[in-house]
Amino acid sequence: MTSEPVQQRPNPTGDAHYDHPHSRRGFFTDTSICIGCKACEVACKEWNRNPADGDYEILGSSYDNTGALGADTWRHVAFIEQDRERIEEARESGRKLVDLGMPQVGPPQERGVADGAASSSATHTPDTPEFRWLMSSDVCKHCTNAGCLDVCPTGALFRTEYGTVVVQEDICNGCGTCVAGCPFGVIERREDGLVSTPAGREMPDTVKKPQNGVAQKCTLCYDRMKDDETPACAKTCPTTSIKYGEREDMLAAAHERVAQLHEQGMTEARLYGANPDDGVGGTGSIFLLLDEPEVYGLPPDPRVPTADLAHTFKRAGVAMAGMALATATAFMVGGRR
Amino acid sequence: MANADCIVIQGSNMAECHPVGFQWVAEAKARGARVIHVDPRFTRTSASADRHVPIRAGSDVVLLGALINHVLQNDLWFKEYVTSYTNAPFLISDDFKDTEDLDGLFSGYDPETGHYDRSSWAYKTDDDAGAEPEHGASASGRAEGESHGSGGPPVAKRPMRDDTLQDPRTVFQILKRHYSRYTPEMVQETCGVSVEDFEYLARSITENSGRDRTTCFAYAVGWTQHTLGAQFIRTASILQLLLGNMGRPGGGIMALRGHASIQGSTDIPTLFNILPGYLPMPTVDMETFQDYLDSIASKQQKGFWANADAYSVSLLKAWWGEASQPENNWAYDYIPRLTGPHGTYQTLEAMMRDEVEGYFILGQNPAVGSANGRMQRMGMSHLKWLVVRDLNMIESATWWKDGPEIASGEMRTEDIETEVFFFPAATHVEKSGTFTQTQRLLQWRHQAVTPPGDCQSELKFFHDLGQRIRAKLADSEDPRDRPLLDLTWDYPLHDDGDPSSEAVLAEINGRFLTGEDAGKPLSTFNQMKPDGSTSGGCWIYTGVYADGINHAADRMPGQEQDQIASKWGWAWPANRRILYNRASADPEGKPWSERKKLIWWDQDAGRWTGPDVPDFPVDRAPGTVPDPDAGGPAALAGDDPFIMQSDGKGWLFAPKGMVDGPLPAHYEAQESPVVNPLYPQQPSPTRELFPRGDNLTAPRYGQAGNEVYPYMFTTYRLTEQHTAGGMSRWLPYLAELQPEMFCEISAELAEERGLEPYGWATLVSPRAVIEAKVLVTDRVVSLDVAGRRIHQIGLPYHWGVGSDAVVTGDSANDLMGITLDPNVHIQESKVGMCDIRPGRRPRGEAATRLVSEYQQRAGLTVETGNERVTDPDLELRKEDPS
Amino acid sequence: MARFSFLEWPVVRQLRTADSTARSSATVSEHTRELTSRNATADRVVQSVCPYCAVGCGQKVYVKDEKVIQIEGDPDSPISRGRLCPKGAASEQLVNAPGRQYEVLYRAPRAKDWQKLDLEQAVEMVADRFLEARRNKWQDADDKGRRLNRTMGIAALGGATLDNEENYLIKKLFTAAGAIQIENQARI
């Protein structure tokens, strides 16, 4: 497999005028070692005191009962059951990505093989299993070119000194413009900020968090980050499927892991969000997937609506007026509920 | 586990039930270890394994037996290990007859009582003096299961042996013959496991065992909850001994336990049959203290059980202090006597007979979590009073107003006489104390906050209750009250009135009572004496408070220690992390290989050394041949690694200790869809039966009415919930993740029964009817077994019927019947038979009517399925002199 | 509601400044600037152990104003290395659960519902009943005259979620009282 150097792009904090910008932080979610335990969902809710989702009913999607990322669920684990035919298709499509020159990094690493893997378990094309059960923990992508941030009329959404994208709850007026601005469908306004139970009991005061109507999404635990703590989901993850660190390191780890899997014959492995030339300029949260993104409910070619705005504006100022009008309308109609 | 080269997870859904423990499997896998999951369902564990091998629930002995056969037939066993460290060369009595000889029974079976006389299973000895296998009361078949825990019973001291292993009476040859019909084809026929999968499994474990490599097995309740559960584990032990995987890094058999201190609650038992440290509770025939001690161990036998007198006297001194004196046999008669099993299901029957007046339920939810839920709830309605102590208002506290029997009209709230007390409990952060985790490690929890409202710890509640009871009896002259009045119950109190848990731990550890060290804590159980000069509440925990330091609270960060991490918490015994680790070195005391070294003999220093604490007399040289008249630890030879066994060896054949056979044999479950392909004897002939109208059994395959309950079901847990739900269904964050009761079925079964994905299904067993949402999935496959298509239904058991939890639902345990393993009295809740049909279950009286209709259609009586012996030719053969 | 300034409108701002991708530190609010980890506000942090399964994962309990404000994994634990499963991660909610009971409740014979009961009185009532049940179902000897010294009137179930010290006191008290029917989850 050919390897190309990782293409580095400037840290988006670079031009955000921070006195003390940090290196850009991000997640690397390696779905190939996810065991679907959902500890990330719980740890996230507990830290951020987010309400439980839904009506306590089986959703009809394997073991997934929270459905999707939204105002209350900032980490979401998807479960996908696949048969052999589908696995072979995934393997083939992954192989094609490599043939097309998907960026890879570094030489194949010396790994556990050295520590005496049995001869018969050496790393070559594995048998295609009859069946597999994919699990993947999704999260806000913290895009390089963040649609939500670009369209936010109030400045509630901002780029932190760590290069992440965070909603400021005290500024957000609930206009909802950002909801349409996110190509991943991540950000959402919260309907009700209280955890309730069928018996009508509310959470005790320590856990209440009423924020009706305010836009909500993963902050990459901005508050924890300020104290040098690992985000709650990454800290709790039993198998280190969720890794957290400097985005460059995450990117390198992701490339190394995908190369390792390909070497083991798992050509279905591919990265998501690692390409700086995609429609959002790459993401802060990188994923290693074992099938096409659509299989996991991820857009195959996400494009931030404002991606080409700057470029466009220079050519056609008309667009600016249109955009401003649209956003202003949303702002006035939205308001606080 | 992280050191294993191959990990076989069988009878456990480790990634789901122990996700954080699974990190070590994930790490081993990342290093190149092979991970295989053997389970009826494709679970989240299977998804993370190299291969999932689907198996028919309850057929594990056939698969493991076939692996044993494969290892023996192909000469793949670890010769030096097996000949030196196991009882393979020992000869068994000429009177022993195997299941191969007796069509599925071992010699000594009494069809009248359903018990074995096990005298023919003993070692063959060359001198009669040594052949004194039975000590006191353990001669009675039934008592054995009660009378020792992990220790292992006494055996003849000098068995005959044949180191060539050729004598047909050697354990090795008997083993070989016993499993000779356990072939890959038999596995396919019985378990539904393909020959290809079997060969993959066999290749994986044998290639990854030996001097340089080790294979580890992990199991959980998938093995224990069967009528031959203890034998499932025995089969894996035999396989692991043959492969040389016991007592070595990355080897062994790991029990994965579901509760924080389930290990601790066996070590310091809230169990009827044992006292702390696996000392037995005395039975009625142990009339003197000497009878009692003789039942545990002979002073002449090898190993640490020979000092049971010191452990017992120290316990009696800890409990009754000055009232425990040589003149009154250390107050031995203060201990009540057993007359048979008094387990939770026997107690339930006693409740039904109105023999139990009061019942304490402490952090458990039997109305949901115990087999035959209806019987559990009906039993409680016979009580005069019930005390429930829990964090949340669990179903076991509310069945009298919102249980299923209230809905069906079988019980009326206004008729129920039972008084119910609900006491709110303290959480784990509102009290201090130790949990013992699954690898025998004690970890101290510091108290973070005081309990709110009326919430109390169990420590506070029972200390207070004891004080009140003693005060009320203070003037009593009745001798029966002496044990309560003489009890040492003077624990120091904290400012808030709570007794000091550290003082209790110090009592458990034990102390010197006399001499210059009087009052000082013991450092090791070797300091315990049978003369009243020491006390100690649980001998195996001695050392946890050595030098007056609470070692359970030791917290040197893992990253500052080696892999053994001996300065984090404290492991019994004596802070050893791997049991029987003498076996990690060869007979000469050298590590089997550099890669797998753990402890070894340091010739210059004259002692065993290594990163772990040696689980062996530290200065016993490898070549030591002990004085033949010695007993106890002094009698251990330099190559006797299994120091708690009375012969120092790992047991391929159990001459003692198992009540249902010296070797595991495959029997079908109480309810099974097939005829036992191996023996004419269908189910275990020694299983404990509860033949009652409210605990009916489905007919066996081939008997009339069998078709009424055509499908197998098996129960299990999910990551997102905790057992009967008392600590998870009240938490919105967990409740939302698995909000409703469901069943998992194959597409084939869904089509056969017209079940809609995510619609409702009704399940009917001979005991009850429940409803569940339907998950149709390829993760459940239908198997070809014994020439038939077998459908298995998967049922998580976390939900219960009530009105207080965030999420409620029907309980899978209501479907289960009560039939027990005779060794450990654990119920068979992994396999049952039922019918499934579309739609919700009927409400009210109609629900009970539906269950009755099924019972009538199948022609069920209390006798159905409860025959002990199923071989019609048995009587005939008994008369045949050959 | 936040003050609205057209000049701070991101779309305008990105044209106004060199910030080509519309990012600026200028929008950071006071609240955001002062944001800090809740853990950092704790009065004390206590080492504990997860109460769910038997793996024994290390936990750190963060306490502020005598209330538990957070429980998360203890990275120092060689068993768990700071990780927790969903149940362990929900431990804080276990302690502060919305449905948790804080009061002693009593259901009288034939009663249709609970009533509140004073804690002291409740324990006293249980002590009386304990002694009465013990007396009523006492057995001195079996039919062969052999010593039994026990009561069959009292039973207990539980222990696998309790501390060793608690189980020790329970077994000790029950045995001294002659009550033998004591069981826990290890047998289930």
User: Lowest-pLDDT range, A275-289, B400-414, B552-566, B822-836?
Assistant: B822-836
Neighboring chain A residues of C56 at a CB cutoff of 8 Å:
none
Q: Taking all residues of chain C, what is their mean pLDDT, rounded to a whole number?
A: 88
Assess if residue A308 is contained within a domain.
Answer: yes
Contacting subunits of C (3+ beta carbon pairs below 8 A): A, B
> Which of the four pLDDT bands, split at 50, 70 and 90, describes residue B646?
confident
Contact B22 A46 (CB under 8 A): no
Whether B290 contacts chain C with CB within 8 A? no
Distances (CA, A) of C58 to B557, B563, C85: 11, 16, 12
Same domain, B61 and B187: yes
Neighboring chain C residues of A33 at a CB cutoff of 8 Å:
none
Which of C2, C87, C99 shows the shortest C-beta gap to A156?
C2
Same domain, B596 and B677: no
Q: What is the pLDDT of residues A77-108, one digit of tens each?
A: 999 999 989 999 999 998 888 766 554 433 33
Place of tokens 């990265």: A271
pLDDT of A317 strictly over 70:
no
The pLDDT value recorded for residue A121 is 36
Assess if residue A40 is contained within a domain.
Answer: yes
User: How far does Cα B9 stand from its chain's mean position?
Assistant: 17
Same domain, B637 and B676: no
- How many residues are recorded in chain C? 188
pLDDT of A336 strictly over 90:
no
Q: Taking all residues of chain A, what is their mean pLDDT, rounded to a whole number?
A: 80
Assess if residue A15 is contained within a domain.
Answer: no
Whether A39 contacts chain C with CB within 8 A? yes
> Which of the four pLDDT bands, split at 50, 70 and 90, describes residue B141?
very low
- Mean predicted confidence (pLDDT) in A134-145: 97
Say if strands B832-838 and B760-764 run parallel, antiparallel, or are unpaired. Answer: antiparallel
DSSP 8-state code for residue B129: T
Radius of gyration from C-alpha coordinates of chain C: 29
- Mean predicted confidence (pLDDT) in A200-214: 58
> Which of the four pLDDT bands, split at 50, 70 and 90, describes residue C166?
very high
- Mean predicted confidence (pLDDT) in C95-101: 91
Contacting subunits of A (3+ beta carbon pairs below 8 A): B, C
Contact A135 B212 (CB under 8 A): no
pLDDT of B758 strictly over 70:
yes
Nearest CA in chain C to B455: C102
The pLDDT value recorded for residue B146 is 43
User: In terms of pLDDT, which residue wins out, B496 or A4?
Assistant: B496
Last residue of a domain, one of B204, B239, B255: B255
Q: What is the DSSP string of A190-232?
A: -S----B-TT--B--GGG----TT-EE----SHHHHHTTPPPH
The pLDDT value recorded for residue B490 is 94
pLDDT of B110 strictly over 70:
yes
pLDDT of B684 strictly over 80:
yes
User: How many domains in chain A?
Assistant: 1
Rama region for C149: left / alpha / beta (φ>0; ψ in -120 to 50; rest): left
Contact C176 B484 (CB under 8 A): yes
Which of C35, C72, C73 shows the shortest C-beta gap to A222?
C35
What six digits make up the tokens of A63? Answer: 């073991």
Would you say A59 and B739 are in contact if contact means Cβ atoms under 8 Å apart?
no
Q: What is the pLDDT of residues A215-244, one digit of tens each?
A: 999 999 999 999 999 999 999 999 999 999
Whether B384 contacts chain C with CB within 8 A? yes
- Listed by number, the residues of chain A in 114-143 with a beta carbon closer than 8 Å to a beta carbon of chain B are 115-121, 126, 129, 131-135
Assess if residue B855 is contained within a domain.
Answer: yes
* Residue range(s) defining the domain that contains residue B373: 343-427+672-882
Whether B266 contacts chain C with CB within 8 A? yes
> Which of the four pLDDT bands, split at 50, 70 and 90, describes residue A332?
very low
Same domain, B48 and B116: yes
* Residue range(s) defining the domain that contains residue A185: 25-108+127-334
> Which of the four pLDDT bands, split at 50, 70 and 90, describes residue B300?
confident
Contacting subunits of B (3+ beta carbon pairs below 8 A): A, C
The pLDDT value recorded for residue B133 is 41
Same domain, B613 and B733: no
The pLDDT value recorded for residue C188 is 57
> Which of the four pLDDT bands, split at 50, 70 and 90, describes residue A12?
confident
pLDDT of A114 strictly over 90:
no
Assess if residue A4 is contained within a domain.
Answer: no
Same domain, B716 and B819: yes
Place of tokens 């292992």: B152
The pLDDT value recorded for residue B229 is 62
Contact C99 A235 (CB under 8 A): no
Contact C22 A38 (CB under 8 A): no
Contact B732 A195 (CB under 8 A): yes
Same domain, B697 and B629: no
- How many residues are recorded in chain B? 882
Neighboring chain B residues of C184 at a CB cutoff of 8 Å:
262, 265, 269-271, 364
Which of C19, C72, C93 shows the shortest C-beta gap to A235?
C72
Nearest CA in chain B to A72: B733
> Which of the four pLDDT bands, split at 50, 70 and 90, describes residue B835?
very high
Same domain, B634 and B690: no
List Cβ neighbours of A82 (8 Å cut-off, separation of 6 or more).
A90, A131, A132, A133, A134, A291, A295
Contact A52 B740 (CB under 8 A): no
User: Lowest-pLDDT range, B550-554, B570-574, C8-12, C125-129?
Assistant: C8-12
Which of B358, B392, B719 shows the shortest C-beta gap to C133?
B358
Contact B733 A199 (CB under 8 A): no
How many beta-carbon pairs below 8 A join chains A and C? Answer: 164
User: In terms of pLDDT, which residue wins out, B190 or A197?
Assistant: B190
Last residue of a domain, one of B210, B239, B255: B255
pLDDT of C187 strictly over 90:
no
Nearest CA in chain C to A221: C37
The pLDDT value recorded for residue A224 is 97
User: In terms of pLDDT, which residue wins out, B439 or A333?
Assistant: B439
Contact A149 C32 (CB under 8 A): no
Radius of gyration from C-alpha coordinates of chain B: 27
Neighboring chain C residues of B363 at a CB cutoff of 8 Å:
158-162
pLDDT of B227 strictly over 60:
no
Assess if residue B677 is contained within a domain.
Answer: yes
CATH number for the domain that contains residue B408: 2.40.40.20
The total of other beta-carbon atoms located within 10 Å of residue B127's CB is 10
Report the predicted TM-score, pTM, of the whole model to 2 decimal places. Answer: 0.91
Same domain, B617 and B714: no
CATH number for the domain that contains residue A59: 3.30.70.20
User: In terms of pLDDT, which residue wins out, B484 or B786?
Assistant: B484
Contact B775 A62 (CB under 8 A): yes
Would you say B847 and B769 are in contact if contact means Cβ atoms under 8 Å apart?
yes
- Mean predicted confidence (pLDDT) in B863-875: 81
Would you say B63 and B199 are in contact if contact means Cβ atoms under 8 Å apart?
no
pLDDT of B530 strictly over 80:
yes
Distances (CA, A) of A82 to A89, A128, A132: 11, 12, 5
Annotated binding site of A for [4Fe-4S] cluster: 34, 37, 40, 44, 140, 143, 148, 152, 172, 175, 178, 182, 218, 221, 233, 237
- Mean predicted confidence (pLDDT) in B300-312: 92
> Which of the four pLDDT bands, split at 50, 70 and 90, describes residue B824?
confident
Instruction: Set out the domains of chain C in order of their start, with CATH numbers.
Output: 38-95 (3.30.200.210), 118-187 (no CATH)
The pLDDT value recorded for residue B299 is 85
The pLDDT value recorded for residue B155 is 62
Q: What is the pLDDT of residues C5-16, one digit of tens each?
A: 444 444 444 454
How far, in Å, CA of B63 to CA of B38, rounded? 10
Assess if residue B837 is contained within a domain.
Answer: yes
B461: nearest Cα among C108, C122, A167, A38? C122
Last residue of a domain, one of B255, B278, B295: B255
What six digits make up the tokens of B28? Answer: 């081993």
Q: Is A206 exposed, middle or buried (0-12, 13-18, 19+ CB in 10 A)?
A: middle
What six digits make up the tokens of A108? Answer: 């194949």
Which of B719, B732, B758 shows the shortest C-beta gap to A38?
B719
pLDDT of B881 strictly over 50:
no
Contact B806 A54 (CB under 8 A): no
Distance from CA of C168 to the nearest CA of A (A): 33
Q: What is the pLDDT of residues B563-613, one digit of tens each?
A: 889 999 999 999 998 889 999 999 999 999 999 999 999 999 999 999 999
Same domain, B726 and B862: yes
Contact A310 C21 (CB under 8 A): yes
Which of A42, A115, A199 shows the shortest C-beta gap to B31?
A115
Q: What is the pLDDT of residues A68-84, one digit of tens each?
A: 999 999 999 999 999 98
Q: What is the pLDDT of residues A39-68, one digit of tens each?
A: 999 999 999 998 887 789 999 999 999 999
pLDDT of A210 strictly over 90:
no
The pLDDT value recorded for residue B692 is 95
Nearest CA in chain B to A43: B733
Same domain, B762 and B873: yes
B656: nearest Cα among B134, B185, B283? B134
The pLDDT value recorded for residue A9 is 54
Whether A337 contacts chain C with CB within 8 A? no
User: How many domains in chain B?
Assistant: 3
The pLDDT value recorded for residue A334 is 41
The pLDDT value recorded for residue B859 is 97
Q: Which residues, listed in sequence order, are joined to residue B650 by a DSSP beta bridge?
A: B86
- Which of B51, B201, B736 is the best residue to mutate to test the A interface, defined by the most A CB atoms within 10 Å of its own CB? B736
How far, in Å, CA of B861 to CA of B855, rounded? 8
